[in-house]
Amino acid sequence: MSAVTTASTRAAIEAATVRLRDAGVEAARVDAEWLMAGLLGVGRAVLAANLDHELTPTLAARYDAAVTRRERREPLQHVLGWEEFCGLRFTVTADVLVPRPETETLVEWALSLLPPPGGIRRLAIDVGTGSGCIACALAAARPDLEVVAVDASPAAVQIARRNVSALELGGRVTVREGDLLSGLGRLRADMVVANPPYLPAAALAGLAPEVAAHDPLVALDGGADGLSVIRRLIAETPGWLTAGGALVLETAGGDQVPESAALMRAAGFSNIATRRDLVGVERFIAGFLPSTEDGGG
Ligand SMILES: C[S@@+](CC[C@H](N)C(=O)[O-])C[C@H]1O[C@@H](n2cnc3c(N)ncnc32)[C@H](O)[C@@H]1O
């Protein structure tokens, strides 16, 4: 493990790339560039145009410290302190799951399943909000939408509130601490959306170091079959939805999709639909309560 002492940005990135590759980091060059871009407060495109920039000894030392953290397999986003999600920037720390690109598909799909804007306020509940990424992305895309975001982790609630405030969504996004929907009183929402913990306990051992050692366990662990939180959430959700309201979930895919579909049917949902993620795995599932026209509530 050699320190980054070289003075040019290009040479520092090249040396860091070798270190990260040796440490088993998959996208070593990209990460070395992001760490430098983060240090200089620019994007990667600006960085690419300034590779001959001379690093001061102070900047070289700070870059070395950042590379060392990544070399120890801390997630890139923890070292940078942020991640982009649906075009918005979210503060991330070890207290929240790093927002994943596949969850952007969940948000896009959820937006398409909401009733169209029509002059009345709509309400969504984001269960297990973590960084607040789903709640904020929904609210940013739909000015008629209020979102109640809930998480069982007090530390995650603090980060989510910070993100809501930084994105100036505090007028429409409220973050609460609680176990699933149980603490939310008499709310009736048009949609409940969640990216819950869904990994089967046996899968936790095989995770990459960035996930296993740095994402919070409460964000990952779905119990023996991965469905322990999903099972409870599907059973509870009808009590917090309006007639015709939708439950939209991310799952691990595979058997969890038909199993979630069966749980949804048993809880009174119909018109169950699924979506594939960015690499073609079917893992998102939605169901609807009967609308008033169908004879529902
Ligand atoms: C997979 S993470 C999703 C975080 C964020 N929504 C995202 O998509 O990046 C699951 C989240 O659910 C929260 N969680 C776990 N069990 C919960 C429960 N019983 N009630 C509320 N939140 C819970 C965790 O603290 C974690 O923030």
Q: Is the CB of 97 under 6 A from ligand 1?
A: yes
Contact of 20 with 81, CB cutoff 8 Å: no
Q: Is 72 helix (H, G, I), strand (E, B) or coil?
A: coil
Q: What is the rounded CA–CA span in Å between residue 146 and residue 193?
A: 13
Which of left, alpha, beta for 139 (phi over 0: left; psi -120 to 50: alpha)? alpha
In the prediction, which pLDDT does 4 show?
Answer: 46
Contact of 190 with 115, CB cutoff 8 Å: yes
Residue with tokens 């649906």: 86
**Two tokens at 67?**
């590379």
Q: Is the CB of 132 under 6 A from ligand 1?
A: no
Size (the chain), residues: 297
Compute the half-sphere exposure of residue 247: CA atoms within 13 Å on the CB side of its CA: 29
**Closest listed residue to residue 216, CA positions, set 85, 93, 83:** 93
In the prediction, which pLDDT does 146 show?
Answer: 98
In the prediction, which pLDDT does 1 show?
Answer: 45
**Closest listed residue to residue 283, CA positions, set 207, 230, 212:** 230
Q: Is the CB of 272 under 6 A from ligand 1?
A: no
Q: Is the CB of 180 under 6 A from ligand 1?
A: yes
- Domain range annotation of the chain: 9-72, 82-288
**Two tokens at 43?**
């994007």
Tell me the pLDDT tens digit for each residue of 16-68.
999 999 999 999 999 999 999 999 999 888 998 888 889 999 999 999 999 99
**Two tokens at 290?**
């009967």
**Two tokens at 74?**
């801390």
Strands (E), 134-188: 145-151, 173-177
In the prediction, which pLDDT does 34 show?
Answer: 96
**Two tokens at 283?**
């893992």
**3-state class percentages of the chain: helix first, strand second, coil last, to nearest 5:** 40, 20, 40
In the prediction, which pLDDT does 297 show?
Answer: 45
Q: Is the CB of 226 under 6 A from ligand 1?
A: no
Q: Is the CB of 229 under 6 A from ligand 1?
A: yes
Q: What is the rounded CA–CA span in Å between residue 113 and residue 47?
A: 39
Q: What is the rounded CA–CA span in Å between residue 149 and residue 129?
A: 6
In the prediction, which pLDDT does 126 show?
Answer: 98
On whether the 82-288 domain is CATH 3.40.190.10, my answer is no
How far is ligand 1, taken at its centre, from the CA of residue 219, in Å? Answer: 5
Q: Residue with the nearest Cα to atom 7 of ligand 1?
A: 99
Predicted TM-score of the model (pTM): 0.94
Question: 127 Cβ partners below 8 Å, 6+ apart?
Answer: 150, 180, 181, 192, 193, 194, 196, 233
In the prediction, which pLDDT does 50 show?
Answer: 86
Q: Which of 131, 148, 153 to mutate to test the pocket of ligand 1 (most atoms within 8 A of CB)?
A: 153
Tell me the pLDDT tens digit for each residue of 269-295.
999 999 999 999 999 999 999 998 775
Low-confidence ranges of the chain (pLDDT < 50): 1-4, 6, 296-297
